[in-house]
Amino acid sequence: MSTGFSKVLGMPLTGDLRDAPCSHYSFLQAERLYLREVRPDDANETYYRWMNDPVVTRFLESRFAPHSRESLRDYIEGRNNNHDSVFLAIVLKAGDRHIGNLKLEPIHWVHRSADLGILLGERDCWGKGYATDAILLVTDYAFRVLNLRKLTAGSYAENTGSIKAFQKAGWIVEGSRKAQLYSGGSYSDQILLAAFNQR
């Protein structure tokens, strides 16, 4: 279990958050996948491949810097030791396959809001609804457990797959920022998405 979860939840993960059939402890579960903490040993060849694949990182700000296994490990440890961050691995139950990550960061405890970012690193998993499943899980967790009021996310306008994944998870398009982001030699609109706690 990562230090970050203890800090966010105020206590360690306990039995009801574990999934016995999986080879690792899970944090949140859906039918096809589960979410768990991202661990330093996840800074492996798979994660390294994602972060250095220009197709996977096309719409990520991280594409502007090179990545090594050591820098990825440092990044994971930094997120896990941050009170204002929840960093989760997206893992398929079939084969216990780590296919991506998502994070709530920064969490604004006073305003009860947070930004959500997601990376689906395995290209063969695109378009199968896994991102929507993961967004649904972490949105429910943010509202039900962390008692947040609002979640936000931003997307390049061309990243229609990501926008649709959020919308299928019940998020709304809140607005846009014109020519906000640099992409492929020109400037792209940023689509602003949001979800509100209705509890």
| Mean pLDDT, each 10-residue run in order, the chain (199 residues) | 35 33 67 96 96 93 84 94 96 97 97 98 97 98 97 96 98 97 91 95
Half-sphere exposure of 107 (CA within 13 A, CB side): 22
What CATH topology corresponds to 3-148? Answer: Aminopeptidase (3.40.630)
Asked whether the beta carbons of 152 and 193 are under 8 A apart, the reply is: yes
Nearest to 13 by CA among 37, 44, 42, 33: 37
Per-residue pLDDT, 62 = 82
Asked whether the beta carbons of 149 and 196 are under 8 A apart, the reply is: yes
Q: Return the domain boundaries, the chain.
A: 3-148
The pTM for the full model equals 0.85
DSSP 8-state secondary structure symbol assigned to residue 146 = S
Per-residue pLDDT, 168 = 98
Distance CA 163, CA 154 (A): 9
Per-residue pLDDT, 8 = 39
Distance CA 176, CA 74 (A): 33
Distances (CA, A) of 118 to 24, 122, 165, 166, 175: 21, 12, 10, 10, 19
Q: What are phi and psi of 55, to 5 degrees?
A: -75, -45
User: Of all helices (H) and strands (E), which one includes residue 157?
Assistant: none
| Sequence-ordered list of residues with C-beta below 8 angstroms from that of 105, at least 6 positions apart, any chain | 79, 82, 84, 85, 86, 87, 114, 115, 117
